Amino acid sequence: MSNLVPSLAPNAAISQRFDMARQVIREAGTLANDYFREIGKLTVKSKGSHDLVSEADVNTEKLIREKFAMHFPDDAFFGEESGLTDLNHASGTWVIDPIDGTQPFLSGMPNWCVSIAFVWSGVLQFGLIYNPPHDELFTGGKGFPAYVNDVPIRPSTGTDFSAGLVSIGFSPRSPHSFLFDSLTKLLAGNGMFYRSGSGALSLVYVGAGRLLGHVEPHMHSWDCLGAIAIIEAAGGKVNAYLVGDALLKGNRVIAGAPGVFDQLCSLLERGEG
pLDDT score, position 91: 81
Count CB-CB contacts under 10 A for residue 57: 26
Max Cα distance, the chain (Å): 52
Q: How many residues does the chain have?
A: 273
Q: State the pLDDT at residue 189.
A: 94
pLDDT tens track of the chain, all 273 residues? 333 333 456 799 999 999 999 999 999 999 999 999 988 887 776 654 445 567 888 999 999 999 999 999 999 999 988 888 877 777 899 999 999 998 899 999 999 999 999 999 999 999 999 999 999 999 999 999 999 999 999 999 999 999 999 999 987 777 778 888 999 999 999 999 999 999 999 999 999 999 999 999 999 999 999 999 999 999 999 999 999 999 999 999 999 999 999 999 999 886 443
Asked if 196 and 169 count as a contact pair (C-beta separation under 8 A), the reply is: no
Cα separation, 172 vs 19, whole angstroms: 36
CA separation for the pair 18, 255 (Å, rounded): 23
Cα–Cα distances in angstroms (integers) from residue 269 to residues 37, 121, 170, 216, 238, in the given order:
42, 31, 16, 12, 16
Phi and psi at 222, nearest 5°, equal: -70, -20
**Structure confidence at residue 265 (pLDDT):** 96
Extents of the domains making up the chain: 12-152, 161-266
161-266, CATH topology level: D-Maltodextrin-Binding Protein; domain 2 (3.40.190)
Domain 12-152 is classified in which CATH homologous superfamily?
A: Fructose-1,6-Bisphosphatase, subunit A, domain 1 (3.30.540.10)
- Buried b or exposed e, range 162-199, using 16+ CB within 10 angstroms: ebbbbbbbbbeebeeebbebbbebbeeeebeebebbbb
pLDDT confidence of residue 270: 63
pTM over 0.85: yes
Quick check: 154 and 148 in contact, CB under 8 A?
no
Residue-wise pLDDT for 187-214, tens only, equals: 999 999 999 999 999 999 999 999 999 9
- Identical fold for domains 12-152 and 161-266, yes or no, is no
Q: Using H for helix, E for strand and C for coil, what is the string for the chain?
A: CCCCCCCCCCCHHHHHHHHHHHHHHHHHHHHHHHHHCCHHHCCEEEEECCEEEEHHHHHHHHHHHHHHHHHCCCCEEEECCCEECCCCCCCEEEEEEEEECHHHHHCCCCCCEEEEEEEECCEEEEEEEEEHHHCEEEEEECCEEEEECCEECCCCCCCCHHHCEEEECCCCCCCHHHHHHHHHHHHHCCCEEECCCCHHHHHHHHHCCCCCEEEEEEECHHHHHHHHHHHHHHCCEECCCCCCCHHHHCEEEEEECHHHHHHHHHCCCCCCC
Count CB atoms within 10 A of the CB of residue 272: 14
Q: What's the pLDDT at 3?
A: 38
End-to-end CA distance of the chain: 35
